[in-house]
Amino acid sequence: MAPYLSPYHPIPGGPFADPLHGSFRSSIRREHTADAARRARDLLTDDVLGRLLTTPREAVDQVPHARDVFVNRNLRMDHIELIGFDMDYTLAIYHMRRLEQLSFDMTLAKLISEYGYPPFVGGLIYDHHFVMRGLAVDRVNGNVLKMDRFGHVGRAYHGLRPLKRDAWKELYRNKRVRLRNPQFAWNDTLFALPETCLYSGIIELMESLGHTVNYGKLYDDIREAIDTVHRDNSLKREIRKDLARYVFLDPELGPALHKLRSGGKRLFLLTNSAWDYTNAVMRYLLDGQLPEYPSWRNYFDFVVTAAGKPAFFTENRPFLELDSSTEAGKVVGEAKSLERGTVYSGGNLAQFEDFTGYRGEHILYVGDHIYGDILKSKKSSLWRTCMIVQEIEDEITYTDAHREEIVTLSEVELTRARLDDEVNHRKTVLNALERRLEREALSEPERQEAEELRKKAKAELEKLRRSLKETNGIAVTLERDVEEGFNPYWGLLFKEGNENSRFGYQVEQYACLYTSRVSNFLHHSPMQYFRSPRDLMAHEQAGALSSKLSPMGSEGPPKGSVEKE
């Protein structure tokens, strides 16, 4: 073997003749491969098959892109036998602004009346722009943060103002925010949006008036107050007074559930809401939508209320049978089975699988909460998951409307990368010419020629540098306009800088599917094979042909379900 590595040949041990690591294929294996290649050619050139695959299907209504079902992990619906649904923000899509305002007002009133906050905070105004899912609260420093998928903070606010750059760099620039640290609180539900706005608003107001704020206590007080508003049913009592004001009525929800049942699926409801509220909302959503289902309960084989998720997925609480003939839903006794037409509360995952006879990957659960509905079910079971992210309709509709600006930004970004590479290359060329002029003994003609080349290279380098600076300015302006056009404080929901946001990352990690509403399943077959593109490594994106081996993803475990050592 040569004592040095040739720049023109593969590293020893690579896939060339007589590799060091060995390779062997029998003649039988080669014959099978050759036969498969012949059959592939026949299949790919079959005229009749080609016609069947290229003939347009019967015309169907075009589904808006914002109503698609998006796939992180391949899922065969023909393998799914039982589909479960959360209710709040899943089957029941709330009017976010109205419900957030109601929750904000009720929590603020409780802070003043029961927690001793000064009456002047009652003048705070709810700003729905200042909140989105996926923000974190720094309980020690009183800041609200948005992070990328690596846990690096891209944006931070103290009160309602951007955190000063020096403070941002000192606290977060060279650190990863680890949400397991009790210093940070992760707000990942739509119900939690008002508390983030309250937290920042109270800090802004009180500090502007010279008051000292205990940031940790403030957050804990708001959290407890807003939990109380939900727990004592005062919020839900207000919603029930005018369901049409707070809950959207989706005319496609009943047909979507009917289509799934017609495809042989059994359906169940698994919600944290109590029986009285569940019954009122579900009657509003589904009663009378289709003649085949005189009551909403006819859609579901199993109904479980007050499930206590995420404890449902991790603890061993019993199922309790309820008397559903009354609004109170009194407990009849501990359930020994789950029966169609009966309503239950509590329960646990293991017993649910035993009682229903369905297990693991034959169950699809649809919910809106990363932690309570998606993450915990992934960590505790093999249930397949679909996340409802109603905000995605707004984000896709917005970006589609700004297509021209985004395309221009993309072209500018690619040009910026090329300019940066070219500047670095021209610096190297110019440095080489200057070293030659300084160090080599050149004849006068050679020196004149080298000097001309140096001047030309320097002029070209200056042109490239000016263009790079100009391109940087253009890119920053266009990106800021796109981001702030969607949300003036936080930008796009699923992005932070050039990366996925922490929220987007968690959707990708834990949800097999995600979509904006349950009724989007109406536009797909109950036997649909939802396929995701395969993840490509950087060398495959750069052109390595291993990327062509299988363009589609797998049905293996989702990324986030694998515990890190």
Digit-by-digit pLDDT tens for the chain (565 residues) are: 445 655 655 655 555 555 555 555 667 777 887 888 888 888 888 888 888 888 887 656 677 889 999 999 999 999 999 999 999 999 999 999 999 999 999 999 999 999 999 999 999 999 999 999 999 999 999 999 999 998 899 999 999 999 998 999 899 887 778 878 889 998 888 888 999 999 999 999 999 999 999 999 999 999 999 989 988 889 999 999 999 999 999 999 999 999 999 999 999 999 999 999 999 999 999 999 999 999 999 999 999 999 999 889 888 999 999 999 988 899 999 999 999 999 999 999 999 999 999 998 999 999 998 777 777 666 677 899 999 999 999 999 999 999 999 999 999 999 999 999 999 998 999 999 888 888 888 888 888 888 898 899 899 999 999 999 999 999 999 999 999 999 999 999 999 988 999 999 989 988 999 999 999 999 999 999 999 888 888 888 888 887 777 777 777 655 655 544 3
Long-range contacts of 475-480 (CB under 8 A, 24+ apart): 475/409, 475/412, 475/413, 475/416, 478/405, 478/408, 478/409, 478/412, 479/409
Task: Check residue 56 and give its pLDDT.
Answer: 80
Are 208 and 83 contained in the same domain?
Answer: no
Task: Check residue 127 and give its pLDDT.
Answer: 92
Are 333 and 461 contained in the same domain?
Answer: no
- With CA atoms as reference, report the closest residue to 121 among 60, 202, 219: 202
Kindly state whether residue 119 falls inside one of the protein's structural domains.
yes
Which H or E run includes 75?
Answer: strand 75-76
Kindly state whether residue 471 falls inside one of the protein's structural domains.
yes
Identify the residue whose tokens are 């019954």: 279
- The last residue of a domain, from among 389, 418, 434: 389
Residue 262 to residue 130: CA distance in whole angstroms: 43
Are 268 and 317 contained in the same domain?
Answer: yes
Residue 100 to residue 197: CA distance in whole angstroms: 10
Pair 255, 290: CB distance under 8 Å:
yes
Are 83 and 119 contained in the same domain?
Answer: no
Task: Check residue 440 and give its pLDDT.
Answer: 85
Q: What are phi and psi of 111, to 5 degrees?
A: -60, -40
- With CA atoms as reference, report the closest residue to 133 among 380, 479, 307, 371: 371
Residue 342 to residue 323: CA distance in whole angstroms: 8
Task: Find out whether the peptide bond into 310 is cis, omega within 30 degrees of 0.
Answer: yes
* Residue 438 burial class via C-beta count within 10 angstroms: exposed 0-12, middle 13-18, buried 19 and up: exposed
Task: Check residue 6 and give its pLDDT.
Answer: 58
* Residue 355 burial class via C-beta count within 10 angstroms: exposed 0-12, middle 13-18, buried 19 and up: middle
Task: Check residue 2 and give its pLDDT.
Answer: 45
Are 136 and 224 contained in the same domain?
Answer: yes
- Please list the residues that pair with 138 across neighbouring strands: 143, 184
Are 369 and 417 contained in the same domain?
Answer: no
Are 136 and 235 contained in the same domain?
Answer: yes
Are 118 and 208 contained in the same domain?
Answer: yes
Task: Check residue 556 and give its pLDDT.
Answer: 63
Q: Dihedral sign, CA of 253, 258, 261, 263?
A: negative
Which H or E run includes 205?
Answer: helix 193-208
The two structure tokens encoding residue 514: 């995600």
- The last residue of a domain, from among 243, 271, 306: 243
Which H or E run includes 468?
Answer: helix 444-486
Are 279 and 345 contained in the same domain?
Answer: yes
Are 86 and 101 contained in the same domain?
Answer: no
Distances (CA, A) of 480 to 409, 475, 486, 489, 491: 11, 8, 10, 11, 8
Residue 546 to residue 356: CA distance in whole angstroms: 43
Kindly state whether residue 183 falls inside one of the protein's structural domains.
yes
Task: Check residue 233 and give its pLDDT.
Answer: 86
Task: Check residue 30 and give its pLDDT.
Answer: 78
Q: What is the DSSP letter of 327?
A: S
The two structure tokens encoding residue 496: 């932070």
Q: In the chain, how many domains are there?
A: 3
Kindly state whether residue 293 falls inside one of the protein's structural domains.
yes
Pair 280, 272: CB distance under 8 Å:
no
Are 380 and 413 contained in the same domain?
Answer: no
Q: Tell me how long the chain is.
A: 565
Identify the residue whose tokens are 């012949």: 38
Q: What is the DSSP letter of 94?
A: B
Domain enclosing residue 490, as ranges: 402-504
Are 320 and 266 contained in the same domain?
Answer: yes
- The last residue of a domain, from among 209, 228, 243: 243
Distances (CA, A) of 565 to 434, 556, 561: 53, 19, 12
